[in-house]
Amino acid sequence: MAVSWYAVAFLAASALGASIAPSNYVLEKSACGRVWVTIHSPAIRISVGRNLLDAIELNWDFSTCSNTPMQIGLFNGRPLSWNNALTTFPVNSAVGFVITNISLGDGNLPGGWQSSSGLKGPHCLWPWVGAGNSFIQSFNCLKIQPTWMEDNASQINKLRIGDLAIPGTHNAGAWRFDTEVSTVERDSFVLCQDRSIWAQLVYGIRYFDFRIAYYDFYSREEDRYWLNHNLIRVRPLVPLLREIRAFLDSTREVIFLDAHHFPVGFYHQNGAPIQHVHRGLINMIQRELGPHIASAIQFATNPGTRGPTLQALLNANRRLLFSYVDNSIVAGNRWLWPILPHLWANTNSPTELFRFLDTMIDRSPLPTARSPLFSAMAQTTPTVLDILLVRGSLRENADAVNRNVTARLKTRWRNNANIVSTDFFLGSDVTDVSIALSVERSNRL
């Protein structure tokens, strides 16, 4: 993929506001190929002591076009004329991207979704991209997709959950510390996301990979459960469950919550589960999310099946599926969904990551898998030396991976990928591509 860099004058995006699109307003159009907006995950150094966060990226794929557009530009509203562009760049390859040094800014969520439910349908944040020659042929915006399942219900509700393309986040709760003062070094290898659980939901994420820990030194039981990144506490669990509950209460979306790992406090030294800790978590999930929980025993989950349809979940008004990584606990709580296979390459090499995922996605789901779902863990893993020597960061790792995740999902993984979980998800276009693939798969039924 061609890479271009152009320095443009810094512009405070907060002054540009947000463009909220009504439902009949065209948000994306292309005469040929496609353009889209992403957010650069690493900070960019713009001068001594000054870093730019959330730099806007403009992406294009004109590989199917007979004539490649000659330029691409950034706009603060729907592109109508090159005269309105904030900046423009030449297009020198059929597929590529440019990184601007214009920041997204505060990134307030449009459509009334900043902190509570808003208008249905996709809505644009302020950055738009346009491409063409003398006139603009293709355009798109950075958008939220808070109700994409409901918006496409007439097409995708007949799909089984194992046949959906689902955008997900790896280590979803590791987005900002709510503990003691953190350090830059620790942040570099702990935080995997930079948007809250509420914002992830609003942007369209529907699968959440949670790593849950238990600390008995807190006096109140509900304060003892935290989301961790391995051994490091990041955020208390209960407030995040309440964000999920508020979203479920106000939408018709289906959410997949995965207790993927229990790094602290859930097991004795001999590996045996600490029953009262697991029971406390299960009771908490039932208390906070109970009215929305889809019981595994109520829906077919036999090995080799692809699970219930979205319509079946909606008919039962049960739209939260909770997977649990310990099948001994699942056996005693049959409403829990069984272990969800995670396709994890455990490598710090992007090349090895994609080689592994290409093979494993082709083979999945395994006929013996108890869960109808599987997650491609589309991120690299730092080595111990990477962490000790502060060599790189998770943001840099995500930047080396996310563009190729978008490309793979549109091509090699197009027919078989189920959940695709990323770090710093705004660096990819997985949400919009997943929506398009789910509709495409439904149309083939």
pLDDT tens for the 445 residues of the chain, in order: 333 322 222 222 222 233 334 445 789 999 889 999 999 999 998 887 788 999 999 999 999 999 899 999 999 999 999 999 999 999 999 999 999 999 999 889 999 999 999 999 999 999 999 999 999 999 999 999 999 999 999 999 999 999 999 999 999 999 988 776 556 556 889 999 999 999 999 999 999 999 999 999 999 999 999 999 999 999 999 999 999 999 999 999 999 999 999 999 999 999 999 999 999 999 999 999 999 999 999 997 788 889 999 999 999 999 999 999 999 999 999 999 999 999 999 999 999 999 999 999 999 998 888 999 999 999 999 998 888 888 889 999 999 999 999 999 999 999 999 999 999 999 999 999 999 999 999 999 8
pLDDT value for 50: 86
pLDDT value for 302: 80
pLDDT value for 201: 98
pLDDT value for 145: 98
pLDDT value for 15: 28
pLDDT value for 47: 80
The predicted model scores a pTM of 0.93
DSSP lists the bridge partners of residue 2 as 96
CA distance 41 to 400: 10
pLDDT value for 5: 29
> Is the CB of residue 378 less than 8 Å from the CB of residue 323?
no
CA distance 251 to 344: 32
Quote the distance between the C-alpha of residue 404 and its chain's center. Answer: 15
Supply the Cα-derived Rg of the chain in whole angstroms.
Answer: 22
pLDDT value for 95: 97
pLDDT value for 70: 95
CA distance 126 to 346: 37
DSSP E strand stretches across 307-374: 320-324, 342-343
Per residue in 4-61, pLDDT (tens digit) is 322 222 222 222 233 334 445 789 999 889 999 999 999 998 887 788 999 999 999 9
> Is the CB of residue 225 less than 8 Å from the CB of residue 211?
no
pLDDT value for 19: 33
Domains of the chain: 2-144 (no CATH), 148-443 (3.20.20.190)
CA distance 371 to 357: 19
